[in-house]
Amino acid sequence: MSNDRDLEEIRKRKMAQMQQQAAQQQMSEHQHQTIEQQKYLIMRKILDQEGRQRLENIKMVKPQFAEQITMQLIQLYRSGQLRGSIPLPDTAFKKLLEQIAQTEKKKDYKIKNL
């Protein structure tokens, strides 16, 4: 009988632990969804329809680069550096993308033989 009680205690503890992990995961997912929703709303303010479509196309090909662009645009928006041109026209967004892409290019190092 003692073994049955011990097993039942272990089951209860394991079940409580699993429920706690599920609750934490659900909370984490909720926070992630909230953050994504906030980014989406800010991007609707920053970019016009064409720019948002361009960003979605980039996201399909290079998700990490698209996330980096999104975060940089949000930083520029929050710091007030995009005031004059909100929503950003597609041509201005293209220029910004070119600037970001140029800074992201890796430098080539040439090793000279002596």
Average pLDDT, the chain: 86
Which amino acid, 86? I
What is the reported pLDDT for 16? 93
In three-state secondary structure terms, 107 is coil
* Secondary element (H or E) of residue 78: helix 63-78
CATH T-level assignment (fold) for domain 2-102? Helicase, Ruva Protein; domain 3 (1.10.8)
Q: Which two tokens stand for residue 9?
A: 């205690």
Strand partners, 47: 88
Can you give the pTM of this predicted structure?
0.67
pLDDT tens column, 32-75 = 999 999 999 999 989 999 999 999 999 999 999 899 899 988 99
Question: Are the beta carbons of 77 and 45 closer than 8 angstroms?
Answer: yes
Which of 21, 23, 39 minimizes the C-alpha distance to 78? 39
Question: Domain extents for the chain?
Answer: 2-102
